[in-house]
Structure 1
Amino acid sequence: MEKVIIALQRADSDEAWCTRMRTDVAADLLELGLPGVAINVRDDVVRHSLMTLTVLDPPVVGFVTVWAHQYYAEPVTAAVARLESEADRVAAYLVTESVPLPPPVTAAGARTDGFANIALLRRPTDLDEATWRQRWHINHTPVAIETQSTFGYTQNAVVRALTPGAPAIDAIVEELFPEAAVTDLHAFFGAPDDDELSRRMERMVASTTAFGANRDVDTVPTSRYVYRTPFVADNRIG
């Protein structure tokens, strides 16, 4: 089983577009017979998130994640083709998935509680891949979990881009936060007071700086919808 994440760049993500993505577009993708389909959109619930950072122009406003038996097979290419009419640019990436903190199970097509903050990371040129991966996966993972109010954490290392002209991205990280964290830093970091907030933020910044995730990064707050999963033990089969 292979995982492909498709980033959608668009000048805006109004509610009409978000609704179409999670209804009509989702239905079209499910008809392709893909083992797994999930959609994330930057809608009104998350639009004013404090943690929004943008490098790409136009910005990424949504993601479609699909699981397939072969990334190069017709269902994946058909999914990319279908999405091209929904965005100014569509960029697909083959990834390997690590899940330090599994997300909660939701009913097929239901909105996941809270919101998903998705970060697009680039490896700094002065860090070799082995050092970067060590600092990200081994050193940073426990810090991220201990200093934030995350209740789901998925790390996707990019193997390669699958579409021509896709922006250079080395990792795509999805973290689930409570909805209060959209506009409240204390809720985002799970800090009961200002002193603890400062301590957690300082620890987080030091950790992200070590592998270059403090700069040249896009963070996209989204609402998350899982329509079908390839994992049999998970009951989100749609």
Structure 2
Amino acid sequence: MEKVIITLRGPAGDDAWPTRVRTEIADDLLALGAPGLAVNVRDAAVDGSLMTLTTMNPPVVGFVGIWTPQSYGPHVLGALKRLEGEFARVDAYVVTESVPLAPPPTAPGTRTPGFANVALLRRPPELDEPTWFARWHVDHTPVAIATQSTFGYVQNAVVRALTPEAPALAAIVEELFPIEATRDLHAFFGAADDADLSARMNRMVASTSTFGADRNVDTVPTSRYVLRTPFAAEATPSR
């Protein structure tokens, strides 16, 4: 089983695209038969979030996650073909998925509570890959969970890009937060007061700076919808 993440940039058409992606387009992608499918869209529920950083033009506004036996097979190729024309650019990446904190299960097609903040990470050239992974996975993971109000944490390390001229990414990270965290730093960090907030932010920044996640990063607040899961423990009927 492989996991592929498709980034969606610069939606074409009207402002109804988030609804179209999670309904009409999602149904077309489900019909391709992949064992797992999830979509994340930047919609009205997360509009104006404080947790937004952008380096790309046009920016990333959504994601499609596909679990499939073949990253080069019809599930992914069909999805890319369906999404082309809907967006200014779509790019696909094969990833390895680590789940330090499993998101709560939801009924197929329903919105996951809170919001999913998705970060696009680059590995600084001065860090070799083993060092970067050790600082991110081993050192930073417990800090991220301890200092934020995260209730779901999925780390996707990029293996390779599947589309020509795709922007270079080292990882695509999805963290789930309470919806209040879109506009309130205390809610985002789970801080009791200003002193606690300052301590948590300082600890977080010190940790992210060790592997370059304090710079050259995109963060995309999204609403998360799981349409089909490939995991037996979470299995629910698909739409």
TM-score range, shorter chain: over 0.9
Q: Name the count of aligned residue pairs.
A: 238
Contact 1:229 1:237 in 2 (8 A): no
8 Å contact kept, 1:227–1:237: no
Q: What percent of counterpart residues are identical?
A: 67
Distance (whole Å) between structure 1 residues aligned to residue 149 and residue 14 of structure 2: 28
**Residue number in structure 1 paired with 2:174:** 174
2:12–2:88: 8 Å Cα contact kept in structure 1?
no
Ranges in structure 1 where 5+ consecutive residues have no aligned partner:
none
Task: Report the CA distance between 1:12 and its aligned residue.
Answer: 7.6
Indicate if the aligned counterparts of 1:105 and 1:236 stay in contact, CA closer than 8 A.
Answer: no
1:187, distance to aligned residue in structure 2 (A): 0.1
TM-superposed deviation, 1:111: 0.2
Please give the TM-score of this superposition, normalised by the length of structure 2.
0.98
**Residue number in structure 2 paired with 1:142:** 142
Identify unmatched segments of 5+ residues in structure 2. none
The equivalences for 1:1-238 within 5 A come to 1-10=1-10, 15-238=15-238
Amino acid at match of 2:18: C
Is the deviation greater in 212-221 or in 14-23?
14-23
Q: How much does 1:66 deviate?
A: 0.4
Question: Structure 1 residue 11: deviation in Å?
Answer: 5.7
* 1:76 Cα offset (Å): 1.1
Deviation >6 Å, runs of 4+: none
Please report how far the alpha carbon of residue 135 of structure 1 lies from its aligned counterpart in structure 2 after TM superposition. 0.2
Q: Specify the code of the residue in structure 2 equivalent to 1:120.
A: L
CA distance in structure 1 between the aligned counterparts of 2:15 and 2:107, rounded to whole angstroms: 22
Report the Cα distance in structure 1 between the residues aligned to 2:197 and 2:138, rounded to whole angstroms.
24
Structure 2 CA distance, aligned partners of 1:216 and 1:14?
30
Specify whether residues 57 and 164 from structure 1 end up closer, same or farther in structure 2 by C-alpha distance, changes over 3 A only: same
Task: Tell me the distance in 2 between the aligned counterparts of 1:12 and 1:178.
Answer: 29
Deviation at 1:237, TM superposition (A): 3.6
Equivalent residues of 1:14, 1:43 under 8 A apart: no
Offset, 1:236? 3.3
CA distance in 1, matches of 2:106, 2:165: 35
Cα deviation digits, residues 83-129 of structure 1 (max 9, x gap): 11211000100000000000000000000000000000000000000
- What SS does structure 1 have at the residue aligned with 2:58? coil
Q: Once structures 1 and 2 are overlaid, which stretch shifts more, 67-76 or 169-178?
A: 67-76
Aligned equivalents of 1:115, 1:12: Cα separation in 2 = 23
Q: Deviations over 1:158-188 (max 9, x none)?
A: 0000001110000000000000001000000
Is this contact kept in 2: 1:226–1:236, CA < 8 A? no
Please tell me the residue identity of whatever aligns with 2:225: Y
Q: What's the CA shift for 1:13? A: 9.0
Amino acid at match of 1:126: E
